[in-house]
Amino acid sequence: MDLNNTKAQMRKGVLEYCILLVIDGKPLYASNIIEQLKNSKMIVVEGTLYPLLTRLKNDGLLAYKWEESTQGPPRKYYELTVEGRFFLNEMGTSWNELVEAVSMIKRHI
Amino acid sequence: MKKTFTINISGSIFHIDDDAFEKLQRYLQMLNRHFGPALEGQEILQDIEARIAELLIERTSNKTDVVTDSMVDEVIARMGKAEDFMEPDDEQTSATAGADQAVITGAQPVNKRLYRDGDNRVLGGVCSGLAAYFNMDMVILRVIFVIAFFLGIGTSLLLYIILWIVVPKAKTTAQRLEMRGKEANISNIEKSIKEEVKEVGESYNKFMNSPDYDRGTTRMNRLGDVVGGSIKVVLRIIVLLFGAALIIFGIASLIGFVATMVTGHSFLHGGIWNFGWDSDFNMANLMNHFVSPGAYTISLITILILIGIPILVLLFIGTKLIFRYKTNNKMIGLGTFGVWLLALVTLIIVGANQAGNFSKQTSQTVTQKVECTNCKTIYLDMNDDLYETLIDDHISFDRMKVAEVNGKEKLLGQPRFTIEKSSTGEFILLITKGARGSNTLDAQHNVEQMTYNYAQKDSTLQLDPYYILNDNARWRDQEVSMILQVPEGKSIFMSEKMKSIINNIENVNNIWDGDMVGKYWTMTPNGLAMRDSITTTGFR
């Protein structure tokens, strides 16, 4: 069993949840999101983020607007849609249940 | 000093050195392949390119700094290879990752593709894109296009529009790089073929000089390489030739087709649209005689679409084979097919509707006594053919012809003429006019639109060579047949001119219609007989 692979699989599963968590609150552009995810070691390479952002946007969970930047071209600022917020809450609940379940199992070992 | 390029990534300008350029190009190309030409993939790629630009801006403190190999390495390390992206749908990722790997490891030359160059466009960026593809000066290409247009080769405009529609615009940097390709060479196509030929040659040499001839497996593998390579080269050449043939054929048929469609309208006669094309066959004109005016325009448009679209598709496939550009718009393809189908259905409906105009047949017979109380022989002669020089040789439906009289077109037809035995003692001429129509009344009306004249002068019947349709009448399977009933014992003589209308006259001598002219024929109890073969004398 490949340990790295298993780790990657686990991270993959919660990555979308984390992206929604990071964006919740204020509009962010991709580099801000990357910064936070990298700090918490959720992603290794930055390229991972972009396909996910586009898919979340196409699924209606995220929306973006263009904003001018002082340096370089305009940036896409992402924020949660109503649907995205609902989705985030649902995922939050099931995440808590999952953590609860795992810690319960750990306690009983 | 290394060679440097200036590139535009996501709206920012960078100076980049040779090696770094090549590396970045390969990387972007790999991502491009990974994400595919669909809208979603291109959006992701644009976002990634924006990020790359941002990272490069961080690394170049001022605008004149050159992007180096190590900077690109850093950026690629940060962004990651496509197979490092954690994408949930695993199957697809692993499948494409394998392909990406092959692209990266195999030292394949970067293929050029034809794109429209939106950065240097005047209209649609077609010329600038072609210029990038052939590594020419775009100004020269534009001048050629404009001159070609004014020289009356209207197709250059059409070609431009077609390319504008089918060739995709280079949106991402990866595509812009693909548009220029790696080599600064005029004949990229030729070069890539030469490279492939060289590869084949090398693997063949390897095979011949191989020290381990007896190791059959290696030998077979090498042989496989040689054969495979050769086949590849041959296939590529065939594809190129085929593409070129398609383009040539497509352009030729387009010109022919357009000429056919437009020459019918007199205001374009001899104009720049004529291409020196001999208007042998004239679709617009031809239709005019068949179809009622309302349906005429509709069918003309549908025919334009029905024939035009396949020709354009041929051109499209041809250019695609040669230039290998990508098309990512399925909607255009489906839309085009939809339009074609719609045109087909419309034409069928219009056709069925028009066919209804032929559903009923009616005829009207006029019986005329031919005065010949004292004469023995009726002479049959035909009036001079006034329309001979006016008739359009290229159009004829059955026995009907089109003639241009004082700039107006007239439909004419040749009558049929035959001879029967008269049951009375008189010469009788029966003239039957027939036509079709959507109903009996309409058919009757169409019959009345026909004029046929003859005159009798003493014992000579002067027949008109044609019956004529009134102006605006359309072809409805009109016909005129004449029967001359000859009483027993009387004779006829047909002049040479009658040849063209004689139709199946039965005679006891079994002489063919055409050979019956210029002779005297007498009605005997057995039928019509040549006078020389009758023993009786004293006629005339």
In the numeric block, which tokens belong to residue B341? 């189908």
Look at B78 and A73 and tell me if their CB atoms are within 8 Å.
no
Look at B51 and A30 and tell me if their CB atoms are within 8 Å.
yes
Complex ipTM value: 0.86
Report the length, in residues, of chain B: 540
Residue entry with tokens 């995220």? A62
pLDDT level of residue B534 (50, 70, 90 thresholds): low
Cα B122-B128-B130 angle, rounded to 5 deg: 140
- Scored b (16 or more CB within 10 A) or e, B518-527 reads eebbbbbeee
Q: Which residues pair with B9 in a beta bridge?
A: B12
Residue numbers in A near B40 (CB within 8 A): 54-55, 58
Return the half-sphere exposure (C-beta side, CA atoms, 13 A cut-off) of residue B58.
11
Look at B87 and A47 and tell me if their CB atoms are within 8 Å.
no
pLDDT, position B279: 41
More confident residue, B356 or A88: A88
Is residue B283 over pLDDT 60? no
Is residue B185 over pLDDT 60? no
Task: Say how far apart CA B238 and CA B215 lie, in whole Å.
Answer: 35
pLDDT, average across residues B127-132: 82
pLDDT, position A100: 92
- Shortest distance, CA B37 to any CA of chain A (angstroms): 14
Is residue B488 over pLDDT 80? yes
pLDDT level of residue B147 (50, 70, 90 thresholds): confident
Residue numbers in A near B11 (CB within 8 A): 72-73
Q: Which helix (H) or strand (E) holds B440?
A: helix B440-448
Task: Say how far apart CA B499 and CA B333 lie, in whole Å.
Answer: 57
Most confident of B63-67, B349-353, B414-418: B414-418
Most B CBs within 10 Å: which of A42, A49, A69, as the mutation test of the B interface? A49
pLDDT level of residue B209 (50, 70, 90 thresholds): low
Look at B86 and A8 and tell me if their CB atoms are within 8 Å.
yes
Residue numbers in A near B44 (CB within 8 A): 50-51, 54
More confident residue, A39 or B102: A39
List of long-range contacts for B178-181, beta carbons under 8 Å, 24+ apart: B178/B29, B178/B32, B178/B110, B178/B111, B178/B112, B178/B113, B178/B115, B179/B112, B179/B113, B179/B114, B179/B115, B179/B117, B179/B129, B179/B132, B179/B133, B180/B112, B180/B132, B181/B110, B181/B111, B181/B112, B181/B133, B181/B135
More confident residue, B408 or B222: B408
pLDDT, position B459: 85
Of A33, A31, A71, nearest in space to B11 by CA: A71
A41 interface with B at CB cutoff 8 Å: no
pLDDT, average across residues B158-171: 78
3-state secondary structure (DSSP) of residue B486: strand
In 10 A of CB A99, how many CB atoms?
10
Look at A50 and B88 and tell me if their CB atoms are within 8 Å.
no
In the numeric block, which tokens belong to residue B376? 């023995």
Burial class (CB in 10 A: 0-12, 13-18, 19+), B142: middle
Instruction: Decide if B511 contacts B450 (C-beta within 8 A).
Output: no
pLDDT, position B39: 80
Cα B177-B84-A34 angle, rounded to 5 deg: 85
pLDDT, average across residues B236-261: 79
Instruction: Decide if B53 contacts B174 (C-beta within 8 A).
Output: no
Most B CBs within 10 Å: which of A50, A59, A78, as the mutation test of the B interface? A50
Burial class (CB in 10 A: 0-12, 13-18, 19+), B516: buried
Q: Which helix (H) or strand (E) holds B58?
A: helix B39-59
pLDDT level of residue B203 (50, 70, 90 thresholds): low
| pLDDT tens column, A57-104 | 888 889 888 888 777 678 889 999 999 899 899 999 999 999 999 999
**Least confident window among B168-177, B271-280, B365-374:** B271-280
3-state secondary structure (DSSP) of residue B32: helix
Look at A43 and B86 and tell me if their CB atoms are within 8 Å.
yes
Look at A47 and B12 and tell me if their CB atoms are within 8 Å.
no
Most confident of B183-192, B215-224, B273-282, B339-348: B339-348
pLDDT, position B346: 85
Nearest by CB to residue A47, choosing from B43, B53, B79, is: B79
**Chain B residue closest in CA terms to A5:** B86
Chain B (75-94) residues lying within 8 Å, Cβ to Cβ, of chain A:
77-82, 84-88
Residue numbers in B near A30 (CB within 8 A): 47, 50-51
pLDDT, position B483: 92
Residue entry with tokens 């910064």? A35
pLDDT, position B313: 81
Angle, helix A30-39 to helix A3-23, in steps of 10 degrees: 130
Residue numbers in A near B43 (CB within 8 A): 54
| pLDDT tens column, B309-322 | 888 888 878 877 77
Task: Say how far apart CA B200 and CA B226 lie, in whole Å.
Answer: 6
- Shortest distance, CA A108 to any CA of chain B (angstroms): 32
**Chain B residue closest in CA terms to A15:** B86
pLDDT level of residue B394 (50, 70, 90 thresholds): low
Residue entry with tokens 């191989």? B210
CA dist list (Å): B311 to A80, B159, B254, B282, B301: 49, 12, 7, 19, 15
pTM of the predicted structure, to 2 decimals: 0.42
Residue numbers in A near B48 (CB within 8 A): 47, 50
DSSP state of B169: B
pLDDT, position B372: 79
More confident residue, B121 or B242: B242
pLDDT, average across residues B100-129: 64
